[in-house]
Amino acid sequence: MTTATVSAGARLHFGFQNLSLARRRLYGGIGVGLERPRVTVTAEPAPTVAASDSLLEEYARRAVDVLDVRGVDVTLEERLPRHVGLGSGTQLALAVLAATARAHGLERQVRELAPAMGRGGRSGIGVATFEDGGFVVDAGHPTSRFTTDPPAEGDWTVPPVVARHDLPEEWRFLIVVPDADPGRSGENEDASMRAVVERADPAVADELAGVVTRKLLPAAAEGRLEAFGEAVAEIGRKNGAWYADAQGGVFRPPAGELVATLEDCPVLTGVGQSSWGPVVYGLTDADHATEARGAAQDALEDRGLGGEVVLSAAATGGATADLETGRT
């Protein structure tokens, strides 16, 4: 019996390059893979599909179908919080896919098979960081195909990576996960995105193009923390202008209050909201990580919020996979 274990870090999503149908490419994700928190699954060949919860079972059934194998027994060892802005759905789906493939002695064709798992339909950041980690910018989708009514599920290719950089090992991302209502997902997210795309001002996309090419990418290539953080924060606010009507402001509650407080912390830069939130992030370095953590914990406490604070380096590689073979 072969047991495959696959573990992948979360990701932060800083925003999109364009949400207007007036431009030739739609979406174009910007984000970074994290070392932690992580999702970890184990898989063994089985005569049918077996899993410990309904979502895990859904992804296991998809994986069995797309890989054309008989069955799999999947166990979730580590879990990412769902619908908070850390990419839990994509990382879990791809971990199940990769673990199922490895357990059956198959290559893990993650990018090619991600659409069949229902992933990569807008942003390609989750797929790209699962593959290779790092800071990533993707090319988005052709606007001619991704109108307000996107293609049927699975009828797309994952956006190609147009830029990827390993970030300095001393950088630390502060991740604040407040106890708050989850972010949007599924049909609710689809409806919100349609509304945003229908109203999106193309001038914002033109402004973002300048931020990405003249500020963000040079800062990433040169490892300049302050400049990178300033560009990330600007991207987050410009994206928030698109989402303001859908989420009740540039940042959704309570993320907006946390962002405002953490922006005043002298050891943090690049403070913003990941995806639909409520996760809030910021950037610091290893020498100031303890001070940054304290500021985040104080911000939660001052607002009467529970939650978790995590500090993580940027991932320099993708998901890990281990195989254990034993006799049955």
In this prediction, residue 328 has a pLDDT band, given cuts at 50, 70 and 90, of very low
Mean pLDDT of the region 128-135: 98
Q: Phi and psi dihedrals of 81, rounded to 5? A: -60, 140
What amino acid occupies position 71? G
First vs last C-alpha separation in the chain: 6
| Domain at 248, CATH number | 3.30.230.120
Do 38 and 78 contact (CB within 8 A), yes or no? Answer: yes
Q: What is the pTM of this model?
A: 0.94
Do 321 and 102 contact (CB within 8 A), yes or no? Answer: yes
Separation between Cα atoms, residue 301 and residue 157, nearest integer Å: 43
Separation between Cα atoms, residue 262 and residue 292, nearest integer Å: 9
Listed in sequence order, the DSSP H helices in 133-285 are: 186-199, 202-211, 217-222, 225-247, 255-262
Separation between Cα atoms, residue 325 and residue 191, nearest integer Å: 46
Range of the domain at 149: 2-325
Separation between Cα atoms, residue 95 and residue 130, nearest integer Å: 8
Dump pLDDT digits (tens) for 184-222: 666 666 787 888 998 899 999 999 999 999 999 999 999
Dump pLDDT digits (tens) for 305-319: 999 999 999 999 999
Mean pLDDT of the region 113-137: 96
In this prediction, residue 151 has a pLDDT band, given cuts at 50, 70 and 90, of confident
How many domains does the chain contain in total?
1
Coil, strand or helix at 317: coil
Separation between Cα atoms, residue 252 and residue 275, nearest integer Å: 10
Separation between Cα atoms, residue 58 and residue 247, nearest integer Å: 29
